[in-house]
Amino acid sequence: MPRTRRRPGLRTLLTALLAGVTPLLAALLLTAPSAQAASLTEVTGFGANPSNLRMYVYRPDSAPARPAVLVAVHYCTGSGPAFYSGTEFASLADRYGFLVIYPSATRSGGCFDVSSPQALKRGGGSDPVGIMSMVTYAQQHYGADPARVFVTGASSGAMMTNVLLGDYPDVFKAGAAFMGVPFGCFATTDGSEWNSACANGTVIRTPQQWGDLARGAYPGYNGPRPRMQVWHGTEDTTLRYPNFGEEIKQWTDVLGVSQTPAFTDHPQSTWTRTRYGGTGTQAPVEAVSIQGTGHTLPTSGMAARAISFFGLDSTTTPPPTDPPTTPPAGACRVAYTTSAWNTGLTASITVTNTGTAPIDGWALAFTLPAGQTITSGWNATFSPTSGAVTARNVAYNSTLAPGASTTLGFQANHTGNTGNPASFNLNGTACQMN
């Protein structure tokens, strides 16, 4: 007798369906990305990249439509993701809303190129060009603010911080270098990436020599220069402590401020902090020496100090236009007088702040007539000595209150032309002339 086949009941069908669907649902739940949490993202095809760097971006949920940008550069043997997870910059980005770019070196050893001739000049090639492509990409695709671009790094990344400020002074507003060396110190010509003399702290130069190396990366540039913060441990045996002092020499010269600290304090018992050219949190140059510490920076709390130096420790968003970092046009006036003789002259320059806000740190740019060469100066530092010259404040006249004036001057040789400069720019702004 044939056996009658019974149809499966509804309960049996549902059980079978759920048995098959449940694993799929579980897999989807496990692999679905979080809808609310920001994460590190790799970007490919970001532009010119001659040394095959990789680009990682952290855009916090708190980022405004026009965020500031911090380029955070890792140490040798490191990577962008390792620097993201091993430092506090991402958590600070969550708090203050800035975008972080983490470049990642792919060459053997994981170091950045801070030594080749290509790396040590603007647009020369190698890693700096790739990092600049990342910054441009962030501006084009994330709406990043080109007026608020900063860079920091540790060890190899600190050396790259120095390099980027020399190569691209018009792009970066400030840098913070943890355990670095001056721009150009690591230079080699034999293809080697390591300079033992520099690493051992035996490359010693004058401030002018160091300054000329940084300025030489972008010949002819006379605009504002980025501020610099440097950190070093006294017991560093990888990039030895004398490099700390050489960095201070370089950047005080580049920024035209005195090498004598305007301010000294001890934020922690083992820290000695000095500021040059100003006493505030955003002085032109800040240096922090850590007693008894080796090649282990940054440690807890140091990243926050760097963010404060940059001025990023605020949730206030600037207006959606490129905010000026200098007084508006017409906010300065220059009076220029000369006294000449057969082969020489002296010039007196009076600069007046005609704006409504104080100027804290200034650079007066002008072009000397052909044949004039400065031999000495007072109340400012002058560089170079002919052609397109920039006079930068010294410590005691760095601040100009509204309506205040300062007088500076120089003595020069000439070959017959005793004329005056045609124009003056203060911090990139054209000045009226008396």
- Is 308 annotated as catalytic? no
Neighbours of 226 (CB within 10 A): 23
Q: Which pLDDT value is given to residue 387?
A: 87
Averaged in consecutive runs of 10 residues, what is the pLDDT profile of the chain (434 residues)? 40 37 35 57 97 98 96 98 98 97 96 97 96 97 96 98 98 98 95 94 97 96 95 98 98 95 95 95 96 97 97 66 38 91 92 88 89 90 87 87 91 92 87 88
Q: Which pLDDT value is given to residue 262?
A: 94
- The answer to whether 334 and 424 are in contact (CB under 8 A) is yes
Q: What is the rounded radius of gyration, in angstroms, for the C-alpha atoms of the chain?
A: 27
Residue 222, both tokens:
């006379």
Q: Which pLDDT value is given to residue 188?
A: 95
Q: At what angle do helices 207-215 and 242-254 cross, to 10 degrees?
A: 70
Q: Which pLDDT value is given to residue 37?
A: 66
Torsion angle of the four alpha carbons 271, 209, 222, 150, in this order, in degrees rounded to the nearest 10: -30
Q: Which pLDDT value is given to residue 315?
A: 57
Task: Determine which one of 155, 156, 289, 398 is catalytic.
Answer: 155
> What residues pair up with 351 in beta bridges, in sequence order?
334, 406
Q: Work out whether strand 425-426 and strand 99-104 pair parallel, antiparallel, or are unpaired.
A: unpaired
